[in-house]
Amino acid sequence: MRPYCIVLFLLLCGWNSIAQDSTWISKKAMLQDIDLLIAKIEYSHVNAYHYRTKEECQEFVAQLKQELPDYCSPFDFWRKLETIFVFMNDAHTRTYPRAYYKAYIERKGLFVPFTIQKKEEQYTIAKNLSASAAIDSCSTLKAINGIAMPDIFAQLLLHSSQELDFLDENYITTSFPYLIWKVYGWESPYTIDFYDRQDKEHTIVVEGISAKVKNEANGTKQHREVATLEFVQDTIAVMTILDFAQKSRRYYRRFYRKSFRAMDKHKSTTLILDFRGHNGGDSRYGDDLGKYFANKPFRSSAEIQWKVTPEFKMQFAALYIPGVLRWAKFLYGINPHTKAIWHTKDNAIAVVPSPMIKPYKKILRCNRKTYLLIDNDTFSAGSMFAAMVKDYGLGTLVGQPTGSVSSFYADPIMWYQLPNSGTTFQVSTSLNIRPNGKLDHQSILPDEIVPDGKDSLEYLLQKIGGMTP
């Protein structure tokens, strides 16, 4: 009897230490955080239940609550919260594991050493970054750490918030090492079950790769200039823009001005705008660019709808209205957005039709054949720019579909922190409707799709005149 008493005593002491440990969250605290998260989204979002009905979301959350353990680590609870955002399906209303990821990198954490390809229910190696030559692009993955690949893929889908199914699948295959860490928390080494090209089954243990190797394999380049201009044999100008966020509006305007003057000097006849991997930002920066090559009035959205709350007004003013002018509410009527927002009752929707934007006069305007390169990572304001070019026929879109639906919720300027877990999250406060006025759920499609495995810029240059970058 005495050994059992000792075991019971140790278990109780251990459980009590977990309960008292501030790094563990009780079920009661988790339930409170979940309820507050839903309340904040409903309060600040233009239409939180656009993609999923309220009943569907309530059923999903109820099931999640039912499956909660008595205690949970902050990161594990964060993973559970993320599935709520993914289920609601607004890519701008989300939470990020930045603190956990930073801590993992700082302690030299490693990642699964390959990306994958998926065809039906077959999972093959796309890039093998491990030191093992036993597994290659002809290998078919069966399981990792004892979990079957179909089950892994299904779990990763619960943590991929790309709004469209094909975008989710593309994101998982290209970001596989990161997502395995984010969803499972597995660390090196990894047990891999796979079939070789002769369909023979093997099991190997592989070491992981560093974050640097992972990022390089995924095409992530550190310290790239946000906007660049290059010339191909003078006649073709290639303008690459990574986003509309890292720099001030003045920076982008200065870059546009200098770039188009340089194009005139080189007598360029073709302009290629490279927006592959464009990560979004302020759509007004895209409007500024459009003035240089558009041959007709245009706009990047038909209208913008804002969810107006007292907190939103304060945040909007802090972001967009200079401090010395915030007291002068009589000046707010000059801008259509501030006018609509401050004339809308609290907790209502302000609707702001977007005015047409006139391009620069002919002497200042680029009069060249224009192409826009896009891909599945052309996101948010980058996708809005693509919609503008397509809807007004301002150029030819080349590449793959963009990474945002054509009309989408954005401007996640409302940030919240949950009191018990410390989880922070952002909520979209606007709905941007594409320039042609259609509120659909499709991404922006290219006029010409580049075949898989081909670089879009190389493909386009070859098509234009047998050139290479």
* CA 231 – CA 300 distance, rounded (Å): 27
SS (H, E, C) 214-225: HHHHCCCCCCCC
Confidence of residue 12 (pLDDT cuts 50, 70, 90): very low
Res 18 pLDDT > 70: no
DSSP state of 167: H
Confidence of residue 365 (pLDDT cuts 50, 70, 90): low
> Would you list the DSSP string of 55-66?
HHHHHHHHHHHH
Question: 457 phi and psi, to 5 degrees?
Answer: -70, -45
pLDDT in tens, 390-444: 999 999 999 999 999 889 999 999 999 999 999 999 999 999 999 999 988 889 9
> What's the predicted TM-score (pTM) here?
0.87
pLDDT in tens, 112-142: 999 999 988 899 999 999 888 888 888 999 9
* CA 415 – CA 413 distance, rounded (Å): 6
Query: Residue with structure tokens 């594990």?
Result: 76
Q: Hey, what are 337's tokens? A: 């957005």
Burial class (CB in 10 A: 0-12, 13-18, 19+), 73: middle
* CA 234 – CA 91 distance, rounded (Å): 40
Q: Hey, what are 174's tokens? A: 């290209």
pLDDT in tens, 284-303: 999 999 999 999 999 999 99
Dihedral angle computed from the Cα positions of residues 164, 170, 174 and 177, in that order, rounded to the nearest 10 degrees: 60
* CA 281 – CA 5 distance, rounded (Å): 62
Query: What pLDDT is recorded for position 222?
Result: 54
DSSP state of 298: B
The residue that leads in pLDDT, 168 or 8, is 168
SS3 content of the chain, % helix, strand, coil (to 5): 40, 20, 40
Q: Are strands 396-399 and 424-427 parallel, antiparallel or unpaired?
A: unpaired
Query: What pLDDT is recorded for position 366?
Result: 64
What percent of the chain lies above the pLDDT cut of 90?
Answer: 75
Cα angle: 197, vertex 111, 141; to 5 degrees: 20
Q: Is 232 within 8 Å of 461 (Cβ atoms)?
A: yes
The residue that leads in pLDDT, 311 or 406, is 311
Burial class (CB in 10 A: 0-12, 13-18, 19+), 143: middle
* Residues in Cβ contact with 108 at an 8 Å cutoff, skipping those fewer than 6 apart: 210
Confidence of residue 363 (pLDDT cuts 50, 70, 90): low
Confidence of residue 5 (pLDDT cuts 50, 70, 90): very low
Res 204 pLDDT > 70: yes
What percent of the chain lies above the pLDDT cut of 70?
Answer: 91
Domains of the chain and any CATH numbers: 106-217 (2.30.42.10), 227-465 (3.90.226.10)
Q: Are strands 448-449 and 396-399 parallel, antiparallel or unpaired?
A: parallel
Q: Nearest Cα to 277, choosing from 380, 412, 168, 172? A: 380
Query: Residue with structure tokens 């036993």?
Result: 134
